[in-house]
Structure formats: structure tokens, C-alpha cells
A = this chain, B = another copy of it.
Amino acid sequence: MSDNHSYTTNIEWTRNRKGALSSPGLPTMEVATPPNFPGGHPGIWSPEHLFVAAAEVCLMTTFLAIAEKSKLDFLAYRSSATGTLGKLDRGMFVEKIVIRPNVVISDENQREKAITVLEKAKKHCLISKSMVTEVTMEPEVVVR
């Protein structure tokens, strides 16, 4: 793989269980332990949220790329995703992520193609392929 397929991020601890997350050229964001762990903080992006988001955003960007190639005509795309922790012998991990994409099309005849593009996106998303986590998809295609 070429050098341009590497991604660097930086953290600086600020105080309590919080830090500033940055990356060259990208906006800095606050991160913290999530509130459901001891010492955690509400209202701040946590490692768990970032992990779920990585899979969810990857499904969207992969969908957008395949939709363009497949000439799928769609009006809107949105999704929600939920990650759930589980326990193994070696401790807690993110056991499951469910992603629920919702695609709006204007023509009922495009429904099957939309589902196919979503399924291909699910299969080719490089982030879920990098996870031990079981990633599942519950797609919805709406005609407007």
C-alpha cells in the first residue's frame, strides 16, 4: 500500500477524563470517557461513539461511491447506528453494531437497485472489515 493510505491522529490530555483530539488539517474536537463508565463525562464524543461512527460513516461513503458507479438515482441518504458492548473472557469489547440506512428514491423501479447498492456497500466497507464486532444492516428504501 502507498504511503498516502495512512491516517494520523493526535491527543492531548486536558483534565479529568477528557482530551483534545486533532489531526493535521482537521478541526480539533473534545473527547472523553463516556458517562456510563466511572469518571465519564456526558455530551462529549467517546472512543465508543467514534468506533460506531467509523462503521456508520464508512457505510455511507462506500454507498455513495457504489451508487455513483451504478448510476443509482437517489434523493436522500441518512442512517442511525447502535453499538453494544459485550463481554469475552478477556474483557469488554464492542460486540455488535447495527446500522439502519434509509435511502429515498423517486422511482419504485429503482428499489431493487438501491438494495443491491446498499448490500455491496455493506460488503465492501473497509472499516467493518477491520472489526471483530458483528456488524449488521437493517436497510430501508422509501419512494417519495
Q: Which of A46-73 touch B at CB < 8 Å?
A: 46-58, 60-61, 64-65, 68
Closest CB in chain B relative to A58 CB, distance in Å: 4
Across the interface, do B21 and A53 meet the contact criterion of CB distance under 8 Å?
yes
Closest B residue to A53 by CB, please name it: B9
The reply on A142 being an interface residue by CB < 8 A is: no
This chain's copy number in the assembly = 2
A82, CB-defined interface residue at 8 Å: yes
Q: Is the CB of B82 within 8 A of A8?
A: yes
Cross-interface CB contact of A57 among B23, B46, B127, cutoff 8 Å: B46
* A82 adjacent to B7 (CB under 8 Å): yes
Determine which of B4, B17, B61, B133 lies in contact with A47 in the assembled complex, contact meaning CB atoms within 8 Å.
B61
Interface residues in A1-18 by Cβ distance below 8 A to B read 1, 4-13, 17
Chain A residues within CB distance 8 Å of chain B: 1, 4-13, 17, 19, 21, 23, 25-27, 29, 31-34, 36-39, 42-58, 60-61, 64-65, 68, 76-88, 90-95, 124-127, 129-133
